[in-house]
Amino acid sequence: MFRLDTPGGGGLGDARRRDPKAVLSDVIEGYVSPERAARDYGVVVTRNGRDWHIDEPATAKLRK
């Protein structure tokens, strides 16, 4: 038997409706880059030292 697990996938529904906190978690875990989070999910994630944050105003503007 052979099994291959890969991250990501096609997903279900509009990516820009995904919970920004879930996208932030994906960035922190290394599944999604901050650039892809903004481009694909409309979530602007910034880093302050070791801490990652959602830039709420920029995210709202991008998702408009």
- Give dist(CA 1, CA 30) in Å, integer: 29
Per-residue pLDDT tens over the stretch 4-47 = 877 666 677 889 999 999 999 999 999 999 999 999 999 999 99
Contacts of 54 (CB under 8 A, 6+ apart): 20, 21, 23, 24, 43, 44, 45
Structural domain includes residue 49: yes
The reported pLDDT for the residue numbered 11 is 73
How many independent structural domains does the chain possess?
1
Structural domain includes residue 2: no
The reported pLDDT for the residue numbered 44 is 98
Structural domain includes residue 34: yes
Mean pLDDT of all residues in 46-63: 96
Structural domain includes residue 11: no
Structural domain includes residue 31: yes
